[in-house]
Every structure is written in structure tokens, then in C-alpha cells.
């Protein structure tokens, strides 16, 4: 029987605390500034990808969530696949004459996100990271995650940070080839496992401006972006890396919120202006600001940090010990559909059927900072934590059937 060359991998979502926004090279996807993110746990949010190489396949083909996704010549998918084949050829086949010439075979790739696209969570980062990770396993590559990040970056910039778990920096680099624009680990998840995240999925009917086109417009028109690139991000990268290494949540939170604010300020400074946050997003900011104020007034420190990407969803970073209080506060203003919330990390007792019964506002909190919204304004809450990098999965998890088509 002929050998089947196949591998399945999963990769995580990452949410930046220092935002990537702007390219100096749109083809190679080289950024105008370095960025830094926290990798979220794949137990909750992940992309899973199976890649198979076979001499009988007639073309490279990809299925996303069961549907054919066209691999356009010269496009991002085609580039990533071609780069992975090149790595296989150069690092394996050129060195071992007996290694099967997998780089000359076409591939079939099936990918699946376990979170709905409608949730408005970026799936391109975990998706391209899983694509690269599955091909690296299929091709038996022994290169480092940083080398793989060079290729994932060409699929989607933020994807390069999903090749590592924990706390990850994307160093912008300076070489025109892009060979020094890669992801590095700042600290593994085990360094600060208490770091958790609450994703507030905010309803959004209108089709927003994509990251790719939005950031290009910002590069072309925003004077504030030039100030950010030169005078703000370098200092913040150094300071937040240091804060992570020292497990200093106060500094981590201050910088995270300031950087989210500045990213949305450069979006607004774009011509024509881009708005990603809505009234619900802004009310969540008001809640977090007041929540921190109460804690600081009582002699404590920051307890939560908000951050927003190119959409209205809030991601709230906080330490484990404060998550229950934060969730109780959020549901006080944003009631949930009963049993909508999946208490995967066990904040409440097992027999909780209606999360809304746990609504509670901390003592001393000024309730007038925001109005109470209707059910559905925040249509879902996902509680997760810092997670690991791409995983190799057993063949039983394969998304391709024996025929080489999606199961």
C-alpha cells in the first residue's frame, strides 16, 4: 500500500496589546511597527488544518469550513504554500536524496475554525498559522517557529504571532527581504498562567473596513501614524515586554489600553476616517475605567485592561482572581441570553442555568458611567486564558477522508 503523506495541526488565536497597523511592504507584509500579543487557549478557540501531499493530486486545493476556497495565483495562500514547498526542498530534499519529493506533489488542505465567523473574531491569524504548522509537519521540517512565522506573516501579518504560545513579539525588522521580520517568544504561557481574557462579542450588522485596506489608507493619509511609529511604539514594546517578564499587571494594563486607544485614534486620523468601535464598545471602556478607578481608590491596582481590534468586540485581559467579578459586572450592563455563556473555566457553580442571576456591581462603583443595554447588545461572552502554540494532532482528527477530499 502506498504511503499517505498527511498531517493535522491546530493553531491559536492571538490578540495584540501593541497593535500592528500599517505595512511598509504590502506584498511581503512587512509592518511599519513592531507589535506584541497574547496567545489565547486553543482548548477554546482554534483553527484545525489537515494537509496531504499526493503524486496523484492535480492541483493545490483548499477547503475552509467544508467549502472550496480558491487559491489565486500570486495570492497570499499560494505564496504560503509555495514558500513551504521551497523550505521542504531546501532543508530536507536537498540534503537527503532518499527523502520523498513531496515538494513536487500538489497538496489538499482542509481547514476548520471552531468559532463562528459571525462572532467577528479574526480567523486569519489562527488560520494561516494552522496552515503553516500542518505543512511543516507534513514536510517533516525541523525549523524553528520563528522561521515558520516568516511564512505565516505572508498570509496575514498577525498570523506570524500565532506560531508561539504565551506572550509574543513580532519584530518589524529592517531588511527589505523581510528575513528579519519575524515572531519571537517574550515569555511562555507558564510564565504568567494567571493571565485570562474575556471576549465580549458585540453585535455588528454593518460590513466594516477590512484590516488590510484600512491600514493601507492609514499609512497613506495619517500624520498621527508617523508619530506613533517613530515615538510611541518602540518605547511601549520595551516597557510592556519588561512588564510581562516582571508579571507587572499595572504596567501591562496601562500600556494595553493606551495602545488600543492610539490604534483607534490613528484609524480616526485616516482620510476618510475609520470607526471600529461603537456605543457598546465605548460603554465597555467606561465600565473598565470605573472598575479600575474603584480598585485604585481603595489602594489596589489595575484589575482589567480592554483592547479592541478592527471591529467593535472588546477583549478584556485580567488576572484569574478578578475574572468572576468582571463577568458579574459586564452582565449587569449587558444581560445575556440564559445559558448562552459557556462556563468552561468553572467560575460559577455547576447548576447555574441562567448566568444573569450572577449580575453584581462592585461596592463603590458609580453605576451612572454607562446605561444598561438590552439582551443581545453583547451577544456572547467567551472566557479563555493564555495558551500554547500550534499543536500536532493525531490522525484520528484528520479533516480529509481517504479519498483526499474533506470528510
Q: Which residues of the shown chain bind ligand DP6 in the complex (CB under 6 A)? A: 16, 19-21, 29, 35, 122, 124, 156-158, 211-212, 309-310
CA 171, 127, 215 angle in degrees (round to 5)? Answer: 50
**335 SS3 class:** coil
Torsion, CA 210, CA 216, CA 221, CA 223, rounded to 10: 100
Q: Least distance (Å) from ligand DP6 to the CB of residue 212?
A: 4
Residues in the chain: 407
Phi, psi dihedrals of residue 144, rounded to the nearest 5°: -75, 160
- Closer Cβ to ligand DP6, 204 or 343, answer by number: 204
- Closer Cβ to ligand DP6, 116 or 364, answer by number: 116
Q: Least distance (Å) from ligand DP6 to the CB of residue 162?
A: 10
Q: Least distance (Å) from ligand DP6 to the CB of residue 57?
A: 27
Spatial distance between the Cα atoms of 193 and 311, rounded to a whole number of angstroms: 27
Spatial distance between the Cα atoms of 283 and 297, rounded to a whole number of angstroms: 21
Q: Which residue number has the CB closest to ligand DP6?
A: 157
C-alpha cell at 170: 513580532
Spatial distance between the Cα atoms of 349 and 255, rounded to a whole number of angstroms: 34
- Closer Cβ to ligand DP6, 309 or 325, answer by number: 309
Cα–Cα distances (Å) from 381 to 122, 324, 362, 375, in that order, read 16, 13, 19, 12
Spatial distance between the Cα atoms of 382 and 385, rounded to a whole number of angstroms: 10
- Closer Cβ to ligand DP6, 290 or 309, answer by number: 309
Q: Least distance (Å) from ligand DP6 to the CB of residue 222?
A: 14
- Closer Cβ to ligand DP6, 16 or 129, answer by number: 16
Q: Least distance (Å) from ligand DP6 to the CB of residue 276?
A: 8
Spatial distance between the Cα atoms of 237 and 240, rounded to a whole number of angstroms: 6
If one counts every other C-beta atom within 10 angstroms of the C-beta of residue 299, the result is 6
* Residue 48 contacts residue 111 (beta carbons within 8 Å): yes
* Residue 159 contacts residue 80 (beta carbons within 8 Å): no
Q: Least distance (Å) from ligand DP6 to the CB of residue 361?
A: 31
Q: Least distance (Å) from ligand DP6 to the CB of residue 102?
A: 27
- Closer Cβ to ligand DP6, 20 or 341, answer by number: 20
- Closer Cβ to ligand DP6, 24 or 88, answer by number: 24
- Closer Cβ to ligand DP6, 29 or 243, answer by number: 29
Exposed e or buried b per residue across 1-32, where buried means at least 16 C-beta atoms within 10 angstroms of its C-beta: eeeebbbbbbbbbbbbbbbbbbbbeeebbbbb
- Closer Cβ to ligand DP6, 35 or 384, answer by number: 35
Instruction: Return the closest-CA partner of residue 402 out of 105, 1, 82, 114.
Output: 1
Spatial distance between the Cα atoms of 332 and 357, rounded to a whole number of angstroms: 9
Q: Least distance (Å) from ligand DP6 to the CB of residue 272?
A: 18
Q: Least distance (Å) from ligand DP6 to the CB of residue 237?
A: 12
Spatial distance between the Cα atoms of 167 and 40, rounded to a whole number of angstroms: 10
Cα–Cα distances (Å) from 69 to 66, 90, 123, 240, 292, in that order, read 9, 28, 14, 38, 45
- Closer Cβ to ligand DP6, 54 or 204, answer by number: 204
Q: Least distance (Å) from ligand DP6 to the CB of residue 298?
A: 33
Q: Least distance (Å) from ligand DP6 to the CB of residue 135?
A: 19
- Closer Cβ to ligand DP6, 28 or 239, answer by number: 28
* Residue 134 contacts residue 109 (beta carbons within 8 Å): yes
Amino acid at each position: 500500500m502506498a504511503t499517505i503523506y498527511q498531517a493535522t495541526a491546530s493553531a491559536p488565536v492571538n490578540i495584540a496589546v501593541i497593535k500592528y497597523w500599517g505595512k511598509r511592504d504590502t506584498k511581503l507584509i512587512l509592518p511599519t511597527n513592531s507589535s506584541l500579543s497574547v496567545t489565547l487557549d486553543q482548548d477554546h478557540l482554534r483553527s484545525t488544518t489537515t494537509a496531504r501531499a499526493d503524486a496523484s493530486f492535480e492541483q493545490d486545493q483548499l477547503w475552509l469550513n467544508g467549502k472550496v476556497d480558491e487559491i489565486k495565483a500570486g495570492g497570499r495562500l499560494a505564496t504560503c504554500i509555495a514558500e513551504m514547498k521551497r523550505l521542504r526542498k531546501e532543508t530536507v530534499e536537498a540534503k537527503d536524496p532518499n527523502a520523498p519529493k513531496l515538494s513536487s506533489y500538489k497538496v489538499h488542505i482542509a481547514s476548520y475554525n471552531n468559532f463562528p465567523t459571525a462572532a467577528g473574531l479574526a480567523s486569519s491569524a489562527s488560520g494561516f498559522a494552522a496552515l503553516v504548522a500542518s505543512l511543516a509537519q507534513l514536510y517533516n521540517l525541523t525549523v524553528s517557529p520563528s522561521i515558520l512565522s516568516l511564512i505565516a506573516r505572508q498570509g496575514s501579518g498577525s498570523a506570524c504571532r500565532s506560531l508561539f504560545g504565551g506572550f509574543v513579539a513580532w519584530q518589524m525588522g529592517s531588511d527589505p527581504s523581510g528575513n528579519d521580520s519575524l515572531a519571537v517568544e517574550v515569555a511562555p504561557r507558564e510564565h504568567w498562567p494567571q493571565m485570562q481574557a474575556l471576549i465580549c462579542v458585540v453585535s455588528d450588522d454593518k460590513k466594516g473596513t477590512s484590516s488590510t485596506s484600512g491600514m493601507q489608507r492609514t499609512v497613506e493619509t495619517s500624520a498621527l501614524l508617523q508619530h506613533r511609529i517613530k515615538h510611541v511604539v518602540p518605547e511601549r514594546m520595551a516597557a510592556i515586554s519588561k512588564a510581562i517578564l516582571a508579571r507587572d499587571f499595572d504596567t501591562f494594563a496601562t500600556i494595553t489600553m493606551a495602545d488600543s486607544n492610539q490604534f483607534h485614534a490613528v484609524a480616526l486620523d485616516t482620510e476618510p476616517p475609520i470607526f471600529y468601535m461603537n456605543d457598546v464598545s465605548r460603554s465597555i471602556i467606561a465600565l473598565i475605567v470605573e472598575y479600575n478607578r474603584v480598585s485604585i481608590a481603595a489602594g489596589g491596582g489595575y484589575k482589567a485592561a480592554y483592547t479592541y481590534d478592527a471591529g467593535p468586540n472588546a477583549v478584556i485581559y485580567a488576572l484569574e482572581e478578578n475574572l468572576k467579578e468582571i463577568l458579574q459586572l459586564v452582565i449587569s450592563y449587558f444581560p445575556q441570553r440564559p445559558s448562552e455563556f459557556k462556563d468552561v473555566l468553572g467560575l460559577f457553580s455547576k447548576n447555574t442555568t441562567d448566568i444573569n442571576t450572577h449580575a453584581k456591581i462592585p461596592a463603590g462603583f458609580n453605576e451612572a458611567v454607562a446605561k444598561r443595554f438590552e439582551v443581545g447588545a453583547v451577544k456572547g461572552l467567551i472566557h479563555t486564558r493564555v495558551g500554547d502554540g500550534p499543536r500536532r494532532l493525531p490522525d484520528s482528527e484528520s479533516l480529509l477522508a481517504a479519498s483526499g477530499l474533506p470528510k
